[in-house]
Amino acid sequence: MVGVDKLSRLPPFALGMSGNLDEAHFWLNGYVNKQNCRIWSEANPQVYVETPLHPEKLTVWCDLWAGGIIGPYFFKNDEGHNVTVNGDRYRAMITNFFIPELNNHDVQELWFQQDGATCHTAARTTIDLLKYTFGDRLISRFGPVNLPPRSCDLTPLDYFL
């Protein structure tokens, strides 16, 4: 709860300036991840739908902040094929896409916030890059302000992307 305590002491404008970023997977065959999407009905249809074990998907990242949206960014390999996010790809996206995009905006006071996904936090070089860029305005696992887990207020892209 240390992170929640630190967040409660932020000036009121700071949370409005916070960047909320995450990635989402879109399956290209129409598959919907039933862990994230629930469909409720009064009748139980007892329907079974066969789906491939590993259908092709597209991984999209974006940043939602008070000034708008940065992105989308589509994760692809050098051959242009869709890929998922790992630590190296995430750090490359931050370095080659996100930080240059931030330079197009007036964001000296922007707070950077990310969830504790392994691809976001496992590599110390990624955390060091974010600390260098945002200083004490980093809300992340292993950052100056620890992100409270699974807070719907702090992870809006889980619900909107």
pLDDT class of 138 with cuts at 50, 70, 90: confident
Residue 47 Cα to chain centre, angstroms: 33
Give this prediction's pTM: 0.69
Buried-exposed string 65-86: b where 16+ CB fall within 10 A, e elsewhere: beeeebbebebeeeeeebeebe
pLDDT digits (tens, 9 = 90+) for 98-113: 999 888 877 777 788 8
pLDDT digits (tens, 9 = 90+) for 71-82: 899 999 999 998
pLDDT digits (tens, 9 = 90+) for 120-137: 777 788 889 888 988 888
Element (H, E) at 118: helix 118-121
pLDDT class of 16 with cuts at 50, 70, 90: very low
